[in-house]
Amino acid sequence: MTRTTTPHEVRDALLGKREIALLDVREEDPFAQEHPLFAAHLSLSRIELDIFNRIPRRDTQIVIYDDGEGLAARAAQKIEELGYSDVSLLDQGLQGWKDAGYEIFRDVNVPSKAFGELVEARRHTPSLSAGEVQALLDKKTKLVVLDARPFEEYHTMSIPTGINVPGGELVYRVGDMAPEPETIVIINCAGRTRSLIGAQSLVNAGVSNPVYALRNGTIGWTLARQQLEHGQERKFGDVNPEKARDAALAARSLAERAGVRHISHAEFGALSAVPSRTTYRFDVRTKEEYEAAHLDGFRHAPGGQLVQETDVYAPVQGSLIVLVDDDGVRANMTASWLAQMNREVCVLVSGLSEGAIAHGPEKPNGAPAPAVVEISPQALHTLLQDNLQAQQIAVIDVAPNAAYAKGHIPGAWFAIRSDLPEAIKKLPANIHSYVAVCRTSALSRFVAPELAALTGKPVSVLTGGTFGWAEAGFDVEQGNMRLASPLIDRYRRPYEGTDNPESAMQAYLDWEFGLVEQLERDGTHGFFVI
């Protein structure tokens, strides 16, 4: 039986900066409703696919919890089977944390969002309202609006004239985006955090232009009843080498002020060899630069998103984070923020000039999949064309609901892996066999043995998943129908998409405004602001 760890012991480890990973193994929506500040979300559904990257050291202290759903014990068993040796359950789960009188937070990426609010409170980051920015645009004032989000978010909705420059690129590229010092620079995101951190990054780096965050981002723009643009593709261009050198000096100075260590490849090798320490290795440049050439063993984490989603990229508290780039700007700017978030962080000073170089996308680092029986798209299509056989086959799609709704095999049922025992009860009673499918078959290969054990019926896996089905030329069905599981696998962020209720957007802003007080009540964060 898996042992337990008390909430007090978890809190003591956080305060002592000892390595610990506190994992919430529920689906994302219930996690987002309430959780401890430094809990990291790792759904039971995806443990084999994600845990090796997120918790690379097998003897890390891992404490798992749920809210009484029975998921934590199942997750602990899986994690131990994958070779992790220090796994325990949080005593009494989430309720135990509450009963201990400790603070509960909601939403996702909360440590980063709370830190952003603290930065604004301490540094009084300059900002303009949506109305003030619209007035400047109407007057054709010399200004640039730089959208600090990843391109996909920017492409969905953006401020008029906005140019996509993700947060980690701002200091590196602002000199080219606004070469004249009188040009006003406005940084926006969907809500507040990336606007505030982006604007304060430019202020900290000594940019001579007037710099402002767009107060409340695209949410504020929408609440002001101002029109957003959609489908834009404006992006940053090349970097002026002289401006990049100036930016590198400023970034290095900021990193040193924040307590960032700068290490050589030899020092990095020595640190990485310490068996009792988790070391995360991140290349913070753009995806295109990373895929062209990167240090072997380094994962890709764009600097702005690493600061925004630190709990996702590096969930082990007390770990070491090593950053690299090839220009001295982006790694140091990112490191300066992570250090202020109470993370120990180093920058590899020689960049890509030493060490083994790899090329191409980041390689998957999931657990080996079990042997399964496969069925080709062509064979499944033939079976489904036969009306009698189609009625006796259940296609179970375990992809994220957003992917299922976008396109799934006609007749497929949506199910969440962690919910399989309940989901199969909602299927017709005359099923003779099952086909497990996801987008690529990576997840469905782990689901198939569980489905077979639950049903006692034959289960096969669709080769290539839904992508393979579509590539074979077969039609997909869109929409949410045949839902065998509740839609809890992803939390609906109030700042995403274009159809959120105004009440939800305002409630989200009100929540963000209260995060600084919550940080003080919680008392475990260790954040500071230079």
pLDDT digits (tens, 9 = 90+) for 229-281: 999 999 999 898 899 999 999 999 999 999 999 999 999 999 988 999 999 99
Residue 6 is predicted with a pLDDT of: 98
Residue 240 is predicted with a pLDDT of: 87
Per-residue confidence band for 1, with pLDDT thresholds at 50, 70 and 90: confident
- Run of H or E including 193: helix 193-204
Provide the mean pLDDT of the chain. 96
Task: Say which range, 139-143, 375-379, 460-464, 501-505, has the weakest mean pLDDT.
Answer: 501-505
Q: Across the beta sheet with 163-164, what order do the strands follow? A: 127-128, 211-214, 184-188, 143-147, 163-164
In sequence order, what DSSP letters do the residues of 211-263 get, joined into one string? EEEETTHHHHHHHTTPPPB-S---B--PPPHHHHHHHHHHHHHHHHHTT-EEE
Per-residue confidence band for 343, with pLDDT thresholds at 50, 70 and 90: very high
Domain architecture of the chain: domains with CATH: 4-110 (3.40.250.10), 121-235 (3.40.250.10), 258-355 (3.40.250.10), 373-471 (3.40.250.10)
- pLDDT of residue 2 exceeding 90: no
The number of CA neighbours under 13 Å toward the Cβ of 356 is 5
CB atoms within 10 A of CB 287: 14
Is 0.85 surpassed by the pTM of this model?
A: yes
Residue 374 is predicted with a pLDDT of: 98
For residues 184 and 88, give the distance between their C-alpha atoms in angstroms, rounded to a whole number: 52
Per-residue confidence band for 320, with pLDDT thresholds at 50, 70 and 90: very high
Residue 500 is predicted with a pLDDT of: 82
For residues 60 and 67, give the distance between their C-alpha atoms in angstroms, rounded to a whole number: 23
- pLDDT of residue 388 exceeding 80: no
For residues 256 and 335, give the distance between their C-alpha atoms in angstroms, rounded to a whole number: 9
In sequence order, what DSSP letters do the residues of 384-416 get, joined into one string? HHSHHHHHHEEEEE-S-HHHHHH-B-TTPEE--
pLDDT digits (tens, 9 = 90+) for 26-51: 999 999 999 999 999 999 999 999 99
In sequence order, what DSSP letters do the residues of 13-76 get, joined into one string? HHHTT--BEEEE-S-HHHHHHSB-TTEEE--GGGHHHHHHHHS--TTS-EEEE-SSSSHHHHHH
SS3 127: strand
- pLDDT of residue 495 exceeding 90: no
Residue 499 is predicted with a pLDDT of: 77
- Run of H or E including 417: none
- pLDDT of residue 413 exceeding 90: yes
What phi, psi does 351 have (nearest 5°)?
55, -130
Rounded-to-10 torsion of CA 278, 281, 287, 290: -150
Per-residue confidence band for 390, with pLDDT thresholds at 50, 70 and 90: confident
What string of H, E and C letters represents the secondary structure of 134-183?
Answer: HHHHHCCCCEEEEECCCHHHHHHCECCCCEECCHHHHHHHHHHHCCCCCC
pLDDT digits (tens, 9 = 90+) for 173-215: 999 999 999 999 999 999 999 999 999 999 999 999 999 999 9
Instruction: Give how far Cα 20 sits from Cα of 38, 59, 109, Å.
Output: 10, 10, 18
Residue 525 is predicted with a pLDDT of: 97
- pLDDT of residue 486 exceeding 90: yes
